[in-house]
Amino acid sequence: MERSNHDSEMEFPQDFRCPISMEIMKDPVIISTGVTYERKNIQKWFFSYKKTTCPATMQSVENFDITPNHTLKRLIFAWHNSHSPSSSSPSCSPSFRRDEMVALLKTLNSSPFKVTSLRKLKEIVEDGDEMKLDFMLLGGLEVLFQLIIQILADSSDFMVFRACEEALGVLQHLPILQESDGKVIELLLKPEFMKSMVIILQRGSKEARVYTMSILRKLANLDFNWNVVLNDQGVGMFKSILELASDEISTKVSSSALQVLIKILDSSKECRSKAIEAGAMSNLIELLPDSNSDSDRSKCEKILLAIKLLCECTNGKVAFIEHALGIGAVSSKLFGVSEIASNIGIHIFLLICSFHDPTNKVLEDMLIYGVVKKLVILMHMSGPSPTKNKMVDMFKKHTNLWSRYPCFPSELKGFIGSHRV
d(CA 64, CA 43): 9
Instruction: Give the pTM.
Output: 0.72
Using an 8 Å Cβ cutoff, are 187 and 142 in contact? yes
Taken in order 206, 208, 210, 213, the sign of the CA dihedral is negative
Identify which of 328, 301, 238, 315 has the alpha carbon closest to the alpha carbon of residue 273: 315
The model's pLDDT over 208-235, given as tens digits with 9 standing for 90+, comes to 888 899 888 888 777 777 877 777 677 8
Is residue 389 predicted with pLDDT exceeding 60?
A: yes
Identify which of 415, 421, 389, 384 has the alpha carbon closest to the alpha carbon of residue 402: 415
Residue 374 has φ and ψ, to the nearest 5°, of -65, -35
Indicate the average pLDDT of the chain: 82
The model's pLDDT over 308-348, given as tens digits with 9 standing for 90+, comes to 999 999 999 999 999 999 999 999 888 878 888 889 999 99
Apex 104 CA angle, 204 and 28, nearest 5:
105
Report how far Cα 366 is from the mean position of its chain's Cα atoms: 36
Percent of the chain topping pLDDT 90 = 26
Q: What confidence category does residue 284 fall into, taking pLDDT thresholds of 50, 70 and 90?
A: very high
Is residue 420 predicted with pLDDT exceeding 80?
A: no
- Which run of H or E residues covers position 378? helix 371-381
Percent of the chain topping pLDDT 70 = 86
pLDDT at 3: 39
Q: Which amino acid appears at position 167 of this protein?
A: A
Please tell me the number of Cα atoms within 13 Å of 339 on its side-chain side.
Answer: 2
d(CA 41, CA 271): 46
